[in-house]
Structure 1
Amino acid sequence: MTSTNGDGHRPGRRRGYSAWSLLRHGLGREEWPRAWYERELRGSYDAVIIGGGVHGLATAYYLARDHGVRDVAVLDRAYIGSGGSGRNTAILRSNYLTPEGVRFYDRSVKLYEHLAADLNFNVMFSQRGHLTLAHNDASLRTMHWRTEVNKLQGVDSEVIGPDRISELVPYLDTSGEARYPILGALYHPPGGIVRHDAVVWGYARGADAHGVHIHQQTEVTGIDVERGRVTGVQTNRGRIATPVVLNATAGWAGLVSDMAGVSLPIQTSPLQAAVTEPVRPFLDTVVVSGTLHVYVSQTDRGELVFGASVDPFASYSMRGSLEFAEGIAGHVLELMPALHRIRLLRQWAGLCDMTPDYSPIMGPTPVEGFYVDVGWGTYGFKAGPVSGEAMAACLAHGKPPEIISAFGLDRFGDGRLVGEKGAAAVGH
């Protein structure tokens, strides 16, 4: 793969703004420069990335920055961040269950810690800690198991009791009279939340500055394969010739891969979330209950963000339901009864591609030049930076790096599953 950008666009980081220039733009009539530019869709690229979410944009950014491959097009059928990247609850953590998963997500958290400086763009990452509650002996045993796996991988996690939990989150009902008594929790200090839109915009800005072309409103309608290898993609704006295609979509991952003749073991289900009116900040820690299928965090603006597990049926619907709103409200009040007067503002849904072992599918496929970064279920946003870094190396060198070698498509045929259900099914 070559490293030309093809349009005379000078790669490199955009200059930041001084306090005076920010004030001048804010109070004056000067137009803000565009963070990324609309460019003419060319007839060929060295690589085409399908999906303008955090995974696709991060891959393009690291491909250009770290490997000098700048003749890249990122295609999105709507606008960047319009899919799962803009519909998630933006919780970050690395306290997974398998050694492969812990190492992978820990790398992502470390990248997030320096992402604002790297992109010269404030992504508003707040490492406020992450609590996974245990309401019975079986859950508590799983928390101890995860703690030991985390510690062996150098990840900060520990099991704490109700007294410490009450210190961290005073509004939790840790009494013995609760319907679902809290016996303990897995406490993960590096976990936290981030502004998902800012991450998408930061990667788009960085990729564009390095010469990557970002094409919105560009839907892929077909993938051309000749003699077992990719030769191009068909879009609603014409054909693009390319020897490398990455499927980095969510919700439509199976449909896109089918265009290249690659079948994926994926089931798509809706995932709903909701947000309340803003209130005085009181919840510093992310709280998750797998037993109640609920998680809650508070944004910097004061809204409480609620979520649950995926809907119990396969669907492409992204409409909210009254059943979800009633269920999530009841479960939140069982954990924190004092919230009964807070009003729900809105709810939404996104699409989740679930694999049989609750781990992603990353790397090459039987079709030469066709790669996948899919199957992220409910946990894809937290993996954006490490996935982009790893998939960029995979595209540049033609083989997956060690950190994602366990997540290949061939594991399903070989029986080498990476079972993450105990840490990924509801544990956002």
Structure 2
Amino acid sequence: MTRPTPRTPGAELPKHPTHLWNSPEPRRHYDVVVVGGGGHGLATAYYLVKNHGITDVAVIERGWLAGGNMARNTTIIRSNYLWDESSNFYDHALDLWEGLEDDLEYPILFSQRGVLNLAHTLQDVRDSRRRVEANRLNRVDAEWVDADGVKEICPIVNTSDDIRYPVLGATYQPSAGIAKHDYVAWGFARKAAEAGVHLIQDTQVTGFLTEGDRVTGVRTSRGDIGAGRVALAAAGRTATLTDELGIRIPIQSHPLQALVSELLEPVHPTVVMSNAVHVYVSQAHKGELVMGAGVDAFNGFGQRGPFHIIERQMAAAVELFPVFARAHLLRTWGGVVDVTPDASPIVGLTPYENLFLNCGWGTGGFKATPGIGDTFAHTVATGTPHPLVAPFALDRFVSGRLVDEHGAAAVAH
């Protein structure tokens, strides 16, 4: 497909009204209940309204809207995945990202500044070139650049040959970039609320109402709520809910740490990622560096991790970007990522009628937000998996039709 010229909007921030949405009392029944008020849940509600005319919807969030992974990620958006199933889905999401600010009538600071995925070994080079060719077959705007090309795109990268992991080149996707994560969530929430969707915060879903093999609603900390259909978008905590129904979901939850620096002058023009040294760096609109690493090895739901992960991440970042050696760390945080055996999501039907599943996005959930909102809303509204998410059905772990994206998703993103 032909991409528009990448653009970077001005850094002028929106002036928010006092309230973008109301906090209504939950009714006793809705046509659709969405469990999880993060980016995926809010986007699903928005597209249920926009594409299917379903407005009798409740989004139920255990804390505050978008207070989980949506507020705890590093906002990278790209579609240069290896396998057809993944690149087709993420390219659809990127198409939606390009028009999302106009759709939501809300500034999300979407900036198509490009993404470099560095190669440090000959095997990295082979794998990267293979991914570029696969991307081109799927009409994704990917290209291979050598070390000089990396330096031209991002002059502050250390491309000397006397470092632990010399830069031999990189894949480059010009249309990739970043967006302001909380603005994205607020835009979806505002539009959904305007259409009559109930956004219910501080309400814990504890189980399900069932009749035989059919789900008829949810049990919550504020009482039972009936539903024609229930859509799970609870990320790492999905398995704690499906366990109530005896549905085994092959996901593991891990902490994922990230950090930001003090405000700096604009020096970093793109996004740079490295699987080998497990660090990725971009510069936000205000000027802070946003950095992340690989997931912490242990399982858990904690939103903080051990400090040695940060130390290793900073050592790698300073080696790749010597100009940042004196930058001060401002704050760190952690999210909880839900990882599947093949590093691809689980989306679609469940053994229970009227219960739909969306989880297992690992470190790729933010970039999927409009794409999964669109395709999951289709799945919930029609009862049939959208063609773009059909390959990610739960039964692939029985059939063996895996979509193994460990190579493209090995580093958090």
TM-score band by shorter chain is over 0.9
Q: Secondary structure at the match of 1:214?
A: strand
Task: State the SS of the aligned residue for 1:402.
Answer: coil
Unaligned runs of 5+ in 1: 1-24
Q: After TM superposition, what 4+ stretches of structure 1 lie above 2 angstroms from structure 2?
A: 31-34
Give the corresponding residue for 2:66.
81
In 1: Cα distance, 2:358 partner to 2:164 partner: 41
For 1:332, the equivalent position in structure 2 comes to 317
1:228 maps to what in 2?
213
8 Å CA contact 2:256, 2:305 repeated in 1? no
Work out the number of aligned pairs and report it: 401
**Is the Cα–Cα contact under 8 Å of residues 236 and 359 in structure 2 kept in the other structure?**
no
Q: CA deviation at 1:178?
A: 2.1
The corresponding residue for 1:196 is: 181
Contact 2:63–2:203, Cα closer than 8 Å, also in 1? yes
- Following superposition, the deviation at residue 338 of structure 1 comes to 2.1
Aligned partners of 2:90 and 2:17: how far apart in 1?
36
Match of 1:36 in 2: 21
1:212 aligned to which of 180, 183, 197: 197
- RMSD of aligned alpha carbons: 1.4
Query: Could you say which structure has the larger radius of gyration?
Result: 1
Mapping for residues 309-324 of structure 1, pairs under 5 Å: 309-324=294-309
Shift of 1:33: 5.6
Following superposition, the deviation at residue 34 of structure 1 comes to: 2.6
| One of 89, 95, 107 as aligned partner of 1:122 | 107
Gaps of at least 5 residues in structure 2 are 1-13
What amino acid does structure 2 have at the position aligned with 1:135? H
* 1:167 matches 2:152: yes
Q: Distance in 2 between matches of 1:263 and 1:300?
A: 42
**Compared with structure 1, are the counterparts of its residues 32 and 188 closer, same or farther at alpha carbon in structure 2 (3 Å cutoff)?**
closer
5 Å-filtered alignment, 1:40-119, equals: 40-119=25-104
- Name the residue aligned to 1:261: 246
Q: Which residue of structure 1 aligns with residue 337 of structure 2?
A: 352
Answer yes or no: is the 8 Å Cα contact 1:266–1:375 preserved in 2: yes
Q: Which string of whole-angstrom CA distances, capped at 9 and with x for unpartnered residues, describes residues 323-369 of structure 1? A: 12211110101111221110111111010110000000001101111
Amino acid at match of 2:156: Y
In structure 2, the partner of 1:382 is 367
User: Aligned with 2:141: secondary structure?
Assistant: coil
Residue of structure 2 equivalent to 1:276: 261
Paired position in structure 1 for 2:9: none
Deviations 1:31-57 (A, max 9, x none): 946311121210000110000011001
TM-score (norm 1): 0.92
What displacement does 1:320 show? 3.8
Aligned residue for 2:352, secondary structure, equals coil
Superposition pairs for residues 19-34 of structure 1, below 5 Å?
Answer: 32=17, 34=19
- Tell me which amino acid in the other structure corresponds to 2:272: V
* CA distance in 1: counterparts of 2:285 and 2:19, whole angstroms: 26
Asked if 1:393 is matched to 2:378, the reply is yes
Matched, 1:372 2:349: no
C-alpha separation in 2, matches of 1:154 and 1:208: 36
Post-superposition shift, 1:261?
2.7
